[in-house]
Amino acid sequence: MADGVGSSRTQRAARSRPGVAARCAAPAPHAGDLARVRPLAGGGEGRGHDRTVVHDTKARRKAARKGKVMTMGGTRNLIAILAGFVGLTPPSSASGQGTATPPAGAPSSAHETATPAGDNRSGPDPASLLAQGESTFDPQSPAVLEVKRAPTGHLLVRPKINGEQPGWFIFDTGAGVCVISTPRMDGLRLRAGGEIPAVGVGGTEGARLYRAEEMVLGPITLRDHPLMATDLSFLKPHLGEEIAGVIGYGVLSRCVCEIAIGSTTRAPRLAIFDPKAYALEREHAEAVGDGAGWTELRLIERIPVVRGTVEDHDAWFRLDTGANGFVTLHAPAVEKWNLLQGRESSDIQLGGVGGFVRGKSGRLTSMEIGGMRLTNVRASFALEKRGSFGNEKIDGNIGAELIRPFVLVLDYANERAAFLRAQSHAEK
C-alpha cells in the first residue's frame, strides 16, 4: 500500500462516511514505532478490537514525520469498520451456539452476531439479517486458492459472485462479515437484504446488506450469502489493486482454512477444505509427527481466539491475519502480571476507539501459542484500560508477523486451530 492515507483523496472519502475520518485521516502517532492501531468492533469503553502495526524502517519513520499514515495501518483502519458496522459485541444474555462451557476465566464463544447491547431500535436484529444459507464443497475443485500478496502484506483472493468475478478481495480472519465494495456491485444481481446498525466513531447509522444467490471461492459454494456494502475504492492507491470486497467470517465459518502468509522468499498459500473430510494428520503428517496438533479455538465477536502463555502466564489471544503486528498485550494483563517490571521498553502510543492510549514497546522473553514456544518476541504493552485495551477476558492480539513463520489451520466448526512450522509446508 502506498503512503498517504492522510491525503486529500482519502480525506474526501472519509468525510463521506462518518467514522472513517477518525480512523483514516488521523495524524500518525509515535513516529517510526506505531503506524496505526485500529478498532475492530466500534463502540464505547470495553468494546472493539485494536490492531497494532509497528514499524521501524527509516522510510516509515520519514513518512510518519510527514504526517502520513503508513500502509498497513491505513487499510487496517478501514477494515476495522467492517466488523464495527455489524455491532459484533453481543449482549450478555447471548449464548454461544454449539460450544462447550469454557473453563473459569476463559472467554465464551458466540458464533453468530446478536443485536448490539443497548440497541433498542425496532426491526430484524443483525443476527437474523446476517444468517447464512447453505454451503457445499466440490471435491473435484482444487483446495488451493489463487492468491496474491499486496504490497501491504494483505492476502488477496478472487471469489465469484452470481457467476461473475468482481475482482480481488482481502482475506481477513479479523473481518466479522464478508463485504462487497459498492463500485463493484454493478452486474452482480445482488438482492437487498436489509439494514443493520453501524456502530462507528461518528455514532450509530445504518449499513446496507445484500445477499448473493451464490458465492464461490475455490471448492466452496455459499448460497444466499450476506454481504455488507461499503465503498472500498480509496484503497487502490495503497494496495495497488482495486479492492472488490473482503472475505471474512462468512466463509471461514464454513470451511477448514490453511493460511501461509509467506514472506519475501516464500510465496503465500491459502487452501480451504470441507470440515467433514479434513484430517490434519493426513494433510500435514510430517508436522504432526514432530508434535504439532490441534489447540482449542473460540469465536468471540466472530474473531478466532486461542489459548497461549505469556512468560508462563496462561493467556487468551485473538488471531488476526489482517493485523501487521506481532503481539499486543491489553492493559489488565500488563498490570496483573506486572509485565513491565525490569523490562527494557520505549514509549509508544496505541490508537483505538476514543483516541490514543499510552503504551510501551519491548520484548517478551518467551510465549507459547498452539504448542509452539517462541523466545525474544517483539511486543506492545497497553498502559491504559480504554477500549479493547481494557478487555479483561482477552489478554492480547496476535498479528500477521507472529503468525508468519507458521501455517495456521483454522477449523471454526470444530473449534480448533493448529500452528505448523512453515518449513514443513514448504515442500507440499
**pLDDT at res. 388:** 74
pLDDT band at 370 (very low <50, low <70, confident <90, very high): confident
Q: For strand 168-171 and strand 243-247, is the pairing parallel, antiparallel, or unpaired?
A: parallel
Band of the pLDDT at 245, cuts 50, 70, 90?
very high
Query: How far is Cα 204 from Cα 197, in angstroms, rounded to an integer?
Result: 6
Distances (CA, A) of 92 to 113, 117, 163: 12, 8, 40
Of 206, 168, 174, residue with least CA distance to 37: 174
**Confidence class for position 10, pLDDT limits 50, 70, 90:** very low
Q: What is the pLDDT of residue 5?
A: 29
pLDDT tens-place string over residues 169-178? 999 998 888 9
Q: Copy the grid coordinates of residue 90.
A: 453481543
Q: How confident is the model at residue 378 (pLDDT cuts 50, 70, 90)?
A: very high
Mean of the pLDDT values across residues 311-339? 91
The mean predicted confidence, pLDDT, of the chain is 73
Rounded to whole angstroms, the Cα distance separating 166 from 7 reads: 27
pTM of the predicted model as reported, rounded to 2 decimal places:
0.71
Determine the pLDDT at residue 289: 64
Q: pLDDT grade, residue 399 (50/70/90)?
A: confident
First to last CA, the chain: 30
Residues 6+ apart with CB under 8 A from 95: 108, 110
Q: What is the pLDDT of residue 130?
A: 84
Rounded to 5 degrees, φ, ψ at 195 are: -135, 140
- The most confident of 30-34, 191-195, 214-218, by mean pLDDT: 214-218
**Average confidence (pLDDT) over 164-173:** 95
The three-state secondary structure class of 44 is coil
- pLDDT tens, position by position, 332-349: 999 999 999 999 999 988
Q: What is the distance between the alpha carbons of residues 61 and 201, in angstroms, rounded to a whole number?
A: 27
Cβ atoms 325, 348 nearer than 8 A: no
pLDDT attached to residue 82: 41
Q: What confidence score (pLDDT) does residue 31 get?
A: 22
Q: What is residue 350's predicted lDDT score, i.e. its pLDDT? A: 79
| CA 71 from centre of chain | 16
pLDDT at residue 321, as a whole number: 82
Tens digits of per-residue pLDDT, 196-236?
A: 765 443 445 678 999 999 999 999 999 999 999 999 998 89
- Helical spans, DSSP H, in 271-330: 280-283, 285-289
Q: Report the percentage of the chain scoring pLDDT > 70.
A: 65
| H or E segment and range at residue 79 | helix 71-85
Confidence of residue 301 (pLDDT cuts 50, 70, 90): confident
Amino acid identity for residue 48 in this structure: G
Q: Which pLDDT score is estimated for 270?
A: 97
Residue 32's nearest CA partner among 60, 67, 68 is 60
Burial of 347 (0-12, 13-18, 19+ CB in 10 A): exposed
- 143 vs 64, higher pLDDT: 143
Q: How confident is the model at residue 108 (pLDDT cuts 50, 70, 90)?
A: low
pLDDT band at 122 (very low <50, low <70, confident <90, very high): low
**Cα separation of 307 and 316, whole Å?**
5
The predicted pLDDT at position 106 comes to 55
Instruction: Determine the length of the chain.
Output: 428
Cβ neighbors of 131 (< 8 A, separation 6 or more) are 112, 226
Question: How does pLDDT run across 39-87, given as a tens digit for each residue?
Answer: 223 333 333 333 433 333 343 344 333 333 323 333 333 444 343 333 3
How confident is the model over 129-157, as a mean pLDDT? 92
Residue 18 has pLDDT above 60, yes or no: no
Instruction: List the grid coordinates of 134.
Output: 447453505
Indicate the range of 37-51, 316-330, 392-406 predicted with least confidence.
Answer: 37-51
pLDDT band of residue 8 (cuts 50, 70, 90) is: very low
Q: Which three cell numbers stand for residue 251?
A: 466463509
- Residue 144 or 44, more confident: 144
- Enumerate domains of the chain plus CATH numbers: 127-273 (2.40.70.10), 290-421 (2.40.70.10)
Quote the pLDDT of residue 265.
Answer: 81
pLDDT at 109 (0 to 100):
52
